[in-house]
Amino acid sequence: MHLWGLALFGAVAAATWWAPPWPAEQALHSSLTVVALGGLWWVHRRIGLPARVWTWALVFLTLHTIAARWLYSSVPYDDWTGGLFGFRLSEVFGWERNHFDRLVHFAYGLCLAMALRLRPVRALEVVLATSALYELFEWGIAELLAPGTAEAYNGQQGDMWDAHKDMALAALGALVAVVVHTVRRTPRHDAILGAGQLSGRRPVRGGNLR
């Protein structure tokens, strides 16, 4: 099943490279996608990954790949909604910046927590920790690259609190996933979780909870 998902993702990724407006900057963004796919494949070859993990990972990477074409800050969602529904989102909500990056950060927390199905506190810990590491990576990029290239990559759009808001939205996405898992929890999940706590070991992969 993950091969079909990879094929669909590959088609979307290829489409984003049709006459790219900023090819060098898009390649910089896409390099992380390549690393993520390589990591997923390596883990899959070693221990096997369920379709759930592949699905949520590819959903997030698809959003990231679409955003990378327009460097996040210039994703033309206003043109899309204007053409499809007759209104522009920015005008409806009074936005003065492009918020597609906020969507992707929210999706990161949601997709990661949905894929891993961790306990609530652990889910927040993992999402916030990895989000902080990425923001540090962006800071490093800003220090190493020329100012124009760094801004094109980071996409802060003049918001000094951009990193904080991105992390907050990722945490919100994780909270949504936690709520979904709590509502969908079954006695079998609780039994697996309890068995893992009593034995001091993590439940087996098929149990979905750790």
- Average pLDDT over the chain, rounded to an integer: 85
Confidence band for 16, pLDDT divided at 50, 70 and 90: very high
* pLDDT score at 150: 67
Is residue 14 domain-resident?
A: no
Residues 142-155 have a mean pLDDT of 69
Task: State the pTM of this model.
Answer: 0.83
* pLDDT score at 99: 93
Query: Residue 200: is its pLDDT beyond 50?
Result: no
* pLDDT score at 13: 96
Measure the CA–CA gap between 1 and 50, rounded to whole angstroms.
9
Is residue 65 domain-resident?
A: yes
What domain range is 168 assigned to? Answer: 22-185
Is residue 78 domain-resident?
A: yes
Convert 32-58 to b/e letters by CB count within 10 Å (16 or more is b). Answer: ebeeebeebeeeeeeeebeeebbbbbb
Total domains, the chain: 1
Residues in the chain, total: 210
Residues 119-134 have a mean pLDDT of 94
